[in-house]
Homo-oligomer: A and B are copies of this chain.
Amino acid sequence: MKARLADIATQAGVSEATVSRVLNSKPGVADDTRRAVLTALDVLGYERPARLRRRSAGLVGLMLPELDNPIFPAFAQVIERALAHHGYTPVLCTQTPGGVTEDDYTELLLERGVSGIVFVSGLHSDSGADLSRYLRLVDRGLPIVFVNGFAPGVDAPFISSDEAVAVELAIGHLASLRHTAIGLAVGPERYVPTARKIAGFRRGLAVRFGVEDADAWIERSLFSVEGGQAAAGALWERGATAIVCGSDLMALGAVRAARERGLRVPQDVSVVGYDDSPLVAFTDPPLTTVRQAVQAMGAAAVRALLDEIGGGRAPRTELIYRPELVVRASTGPAPDIGR
């Protein structure tokens, strides 16, 4: 026999009306009464509406776009460790092409009553995506935190790496090696990080070389090795002597594209990656890259989330982490003769 409002009302010593109000999170119920009703609910085994289900002791969703790019497992590790350290249990959700979507996972996490969700490079980093999904989460009072991306108007903490500075660091490094024909190989521009890298690139070229129209030196492609290879190929053909890439994977593609054309890295051309993902120190050549402060960003994301979960209010300004240049062996002095 299913328990009805009347039973719960009896159990809690209130009227059905009050139970109804509690169940629907309506105003006009004293905290003590609300608690009494919730207790009665549990005593009678009434199934709570998902909305006010007890957040299961510290479950936290961790949303990642994929695992191919090693920076994402790296983020996952850091964030998981931080969460576990605070007694929370991370649930990793990674999307697969044509598979489970971010919304599916969000729905799932919501149903399971997670205490919060960390979005890493999710749809919030896609400027073309509909943000109402996030507004709905905020409305429901679910703590969420965003890493690497920006969703204007969503009332939540944002943690990002400074993509513009990253590109400017790379340009600075290449300029000091006397490169002047510098290209940028990035992913689709609708992604916030890409757009920011492009902005940084334009500014860098303008400031250092007075180049006003950087467009010819920007190639948009995919984030993968193959994407980098394609984008870099076009840039090498155009006479670039150095390329700044949107990810380490793309940088590996850029190296491959260079070698296909008989160009040696770093003697003939230079390549700068982005992320400093694990293992790129072991690549051939070891990649010069711009390191995201993965550790610090992950820790900050967790701190902000736990703040929110604890009822506090983490700062709403986008926390921007400054990346740092890691010089290895994929960059070298510009060749003497312009090609």
Contacts and interface: CB of A to CB of B under 8 A. Distances in A.
Interface of A: 50, 55-56, 59, 66-68, 70, 72-74, 76-77, 80-81, 83-85, 89-94, 96-100, 104-105, 107-108, 111-112, 252, 255, 278-279, 282-286
A323 to B, nearest CB: 21
Most buried by B among A66, A90, A285: A90
How many copies of the chain does the oligomer comprise? 2
Given A68-B73, A70-B278, A92-B93, 9 more contacts: A67-B77, A68-B77, A77-B94, A77-B96, A80-B94, A81-B96, A81-B97, A81-B98, A84-B96
Contact of A284 (B80, B89, B99, B283): B283
Contact of A111 (B56, B68, B283): B56
Contact of A283 (B80, B91, B107, B279): B279
A290 B104 CA distance: 37
A220 to B, nearest CB: 23
A282 B96 contact: no
13 contacts: A50-B50, A50-B111, A66-B77, A67-B73, A73-B73, A81-B97, A81-B99, A91-B91, A91-B92, A279-B283, A282-B284, A283-B284, A284-B285
A100 B79 CA distance: 12
A56 B112 CA distance: 10
A282 B286 CA distance: 10
B59 A80 contact: no
Contacts of A105: 89
A142 B136 CA distance: 35
Given A81-B97, A100-B84, A108 B283 contact: no
Nearest to A73: B67
B70 A279 contact: yes
A68 B277 CA distance: 11
A132 B32 CA distance: 33
A84 B94 CA distance: 11
A84 B99 contact: yes
Contact of A100 (B72, B74, B90): B90
A286 B256 CA distance: 13
Contact of A70 (B70, B97, B99, B112): B70
Contact of A94 (B76, B85, B279, B282): B76
Contacts of A99: 80-81, 83-85
Given A68-B278, A96-B84, A89 B104 contact: yes
A283 B74 CA distance: 18
Given A282-B252, A283-B283, A56 B100 contact: no
